[in-house]
Each structure stands twice: as C-alpha cells, then as structure tokens.
Amino acid sequence: MADYNENLTPSELLKAETQPWNQLYFFIEHVSLNCALQLDIPNAITKHGKPMTLSKLIASLPISASKVPYFHRLTRMLVHYGLLILQKYEGCDYDDDNKGYYSLAPADRYVVKDGPWSSMEDQDTFFFKAWNCLGDWFKNEDPSAFYTAYGDYFWDKLSRDPSIGTWFNENMARDSRSFMNVLIGDEFKDVFEGLTSLVDVGGGTGTVAMAIAKKFSDVKCIVLDLPPVVANLQGSENLEFVAGDMFQEIPPANTVLLKSILHDWNDEECLKILKNCKKAIIGSGKGENKVIIIDMVMENPEMDDESVQVQLFIDMLVMVFLGSKERNKKEWEKLFLDADFSSYKINHTLGLRSVIELYP
C-alpha cells in the first residue's frame, strides 16, 4: 500500500496534522459558549458596566471554590474564539490571564440575556438529534435529516409543539431586531423610499414590519403569516396582521418583502411563492412594484473567509432541517427567470446576506 505521506517534508506533515484535529474538536467552540451562557458570563460583564478582572468575574459567578483554578482555561478559550476580549496589564506576562481585564467582544453581545441567540441550551437537544442523523439521511429517501430524526417535517413539528415554535419565533424576532437597525439605516434607505404599501411574507410576530412602519410612516405594512403565528397580535395605524398561506395567495401591495424565506424552500416551492409575489405587486397597481428579497448569495468572491464559513454552515443547516439550500447568483437568476420576472439587482453590502430587488 502506498504511503501518501512519503513526499511530505517533516514541517508539512506536522502542519497537515492540525487540520483533522481542528475538524474533530470543532464542537468545542459551541460547548464553550454554551458553558459561558450556563455560568451567565456575558450578563455578569454587562451588569458590571466595564471590563472585569478575572478575580472579580469569578466572584460574580456561581462557581464552586474547587473549580476556580480551572476557570481561566475556559476564559482563555473564549478569548481565542473572539467571544471575550482580554486587555493585559502593561508589562505583564503573555500567559498570565490573571493580569488583565475581560470585556465582551461584539460577537458575544449576541448572547447576553434576550440577545438573538441567548437560548442555546434549548437548541442542543432539538438541533443535534437532526445533525446526528445526517449520515443516515444520505443513505435514505427522506426529504431532510430532520425528518429522519423525528419522522416529521420541521415546520409541522414547530406548529404541533408550542414550546419549540415559540422558541423559534422569539429567536427569529431577536435576530431581526439587530438586523433591522442596519437595514432601515441610511445605506439602504433607497430600498424603501417611495413605497406606498408592503407585505412582509412570513413576517412572524412583526418585528421587521414594525421597524419599517415606524421609520416610514407613509407605508402601509401588512404581516402575512399562518393563523397560529399571528393570532391575537395587534396592529397599529399603518400596520396590519393577516392570517394566510404564501403558497395560496399574498395580499396585494406595491412591494413584497421576503426576509430569509426562500432559503427555507426548494426551487419548486420558491417558484410558487415568487409567482404569488408577482400577482400581489401587479394587482396593487400603485407606485414602483417590486419584490425585496433578503437572503444569502453564495460564492461572493469579495467575502472574507470567516463570512464564507458562516454561509457554508447555514447552507448545511437548511439542508439538514429543511432539505433546502442557500443559492449563488446563477441559481437566484434561474429562479427569477422561471418565475417570469424581467430584471433584478443585488446589493452585497449587508454582511452575510444581500438585498435583492426584483422587478416584474
């Protein structure tokens, strides 16, 4: 049998060794963050109001005295992953984690209490069961690995299990609150200026539509979602909640918004949604008619490696849970042509996601 390592230099061989180790233990980032949440580290630093020494941080947490000598190992890992920032005292030894101040990195602000991803413990049991069935899914005919794990479709599972459905909708709303601060800012104001009416399809509890309605008071906003989602939700002067099914009909408006919707569905299902969008905007007969799609565009050559990695993770996520996919520019374009839209433009400057304006 050939030795595939025989042509590698010792330094190349040692460097190559790190990749499988990193892949094998990649889950440690997740469990380290989960441990930080269990100990309430982000909230302790936030409550303190300024960076904390290691000793003060330990004193503020429910840590057993016997575990104090181990704690710096966790914070060192959180610093390495960019979830905490350690500012060393001037002149202190590099390896002395006790000589400095810990503060939250921007990424860790997402996991403080009520942050977009604050309830990771809820995700653990629900998410990993589906991930653990990924190998089996590749060998069977099930529509998704989630279906292999639960014998049910993801959306049906959410509708039948109120606790999971509530958890999911709350996390989507938290994510949208942070995201909308950027979307309705000056850089993207042209996307919404001149609109008279807008339907937020699959808009959940209305976080996105509320932000748009508040910023653009002349725009009549409608949130369309399934009856169990919008039941008992109260609108306002220019905001209305409508129960319905995007696969059946979308209320007429001169703009339809699809935020993180189409990546949940396969091409055939996306075509049904897009054709209903076109009927809705043509039927409105007012203003500049368009569909606004906020979703990822894969294979963007200008994206940095870290962002590409996150896009790949999310592409795997929607595959495992929904049997769907994130799309590159060619795949988006084919959908738009098949749905009989005439033109589109893409703005890639929205972090991991892009803003696509689609015209009839």
In this prediction, what percent of the chain has a pLDDT beyond 70?
83
Smallest CA-to-CA distance from 357 within 310, 291, 312 is with: 291
Smallest CA-to-CA distance from 192 within 218, 222, 223 is with: 218
The terminus-to-terminus CA distance of the chain in angstroms comes to 61
Catalytic residue among 30, 80, 263, 348: 263
Which residues are registered as beta bridge partners of 355? Answer: 294, 347
Predicted confidence band at 90 (pLDDT cuts at 50, 70, 90)? Answer: low
Give 198: exposed, middle or buried? Use CB within 10 Å, 0-12, 13-18, 19+. Answer: buried
Q: Rank 41-55, 67-81, 259-273, 340-354 by mean pLDDT and report only the highest.
A: 259-273
pLDDT at 172: 76
Alpha helices, H only, 193-324: 207-215, 227-230, 267-284, 305-322
pLDDT in tens, 185-220: 777 778 888 889 999 999 988 989 998 999 888 999
| Structural domains in the chain plus CATH codes | 10-111 (1.10.10.10), 165-359 (3.40.50.150)
Active site includes 48? no
Tokens for 93, please give them.
């030894």
Q: What separation in angstroms does the CA of 210 have from each of 166, 197, 355?
A: 19, 13, 19
pLDDT at 256 over 90: yes
- pTM score, whole prediction: 0.74
pLDDT in tens, 102-131: 998 875 555 555 554 444 455 557 777 888
pLDDT at 40: 87
What amino acid is encoded at 317 in this protein? Answer: L
Higher pLDDT, 247 or 133: 247
Mean pLDDT of the chain: 83
CA-CA-CA-CA dihedral for 313, 73, 114, 167, to nearest 10: 50
- Alpha-carbon distance of 119 to 124, in angstroms, equals 9
User: Are the CB atoms for 250 and 220 separated by under 8 Å?
Assistant: no
- Alpha-carbon distance of 327 to 299, in angstroms, equals 9
Tokens for 151, please give them.
């014998």
pLDDT at 116: 42
pLDDT in tens, 261-293: 999 999 999 999 999 999 999 876 666 799 999
pLDDT at 236: 86
pLDDT at 19 over 80: no
Smallest CA-to-CA distance from 358 within 246, 273, 249 is with: 273
- Alpha-carbon distance of 87 to 97, in angstroms, equals 9
Predicted confidence band at 180 (pLDDT cuts at 50, 70, 90)? Answer: confident
pLDDT at 95 over 50: no
